[in-house]
Amino acid sequence: MIAIYPGSFDPITLGHLDIIKRGCRLFDDVIVAVLRNPNKTPLFTVQERIEQIRLSTRSLPNVEVDSFDGLTVNYARIRGAGVLLRGLRVLSDFEHELQMAHTNKTLDDRIETVFLATSNEYSFLSSSLVKEIARFGGSVDHLVPQHVALDIYRCYAKNLPASNPIVMDASPKVNYPTVDREV
């Protein structure tokens, strides 16, 4: 059984990765499909997002990363998928996702939508939240994979005034005490 996990993934978060890993245990193959949405202005290009996801999922042998535009059910049909995989964080997600699942069912009744509740530690997490934190100089190291955090810091460092720099080096800083010696 092939599952499609569609989304913008701008950027991919640890919450997305949680859903991908759990989906890999349930389905033979999971295709993480980056949606090209002309109505949004993304932080990263489609190709950059694909590369971020590939790096993040390289240890998962049954994951493929791709992109598409148009209707998700059409893409699923083309790829031979029988399931659309969706993550749910909060009640408002459920309302929107249920509406989409019903709509997709009217377009192709052979494709099922499977909802996975996000793990508790990621229930607050969204790509929008990650971008907002980074835009204002906050750390996102605990919200996204390390290589994605560095990409985010690079993007926002270009736009920040010199008075609010983001640290580009992700390695922890260690301050060793100095010892005065008499020579």
Spatial distance between the Cα atoms of 150 and 155, rounded to a whole number of angstroms: 9
Spatial distance between the Cα atoms of 65 and 54, rounded to a whole number of angstroms: 6
Lowest-confidence range among 53-57, 142-146, 162-166? 162-166
Residue 46: what pLDDT? 96
Question: Which listed CATH number (3.40.50.850, 3.40.47.10, 3.30.230.10, 3.40.50.620) goes with 2-122?
Answer: 3.40.50.620
Spatial distance between the Cα atoms of 114 and 13, rounded to a whole number of angstroms: 20
Residue 73: what pLDDT? 97
- What are the sequence ranges of the domains in the chain? 2-122
* pLDDT exceeds cutoff 80 at 158: no
DSSP sequence for 14-54: HHHHHHHHHHHHHSSEEEEEEE--TT---SS-HHHHHHHHH
* pLDDT exceeds cutoff 90 at 42: yes
Q: Which residues are the active-site residues? A: 16, 40, 89, 127
Crossing angle for the helix pair 146-159 and 127-135, to the nearest 10 degrees: 50
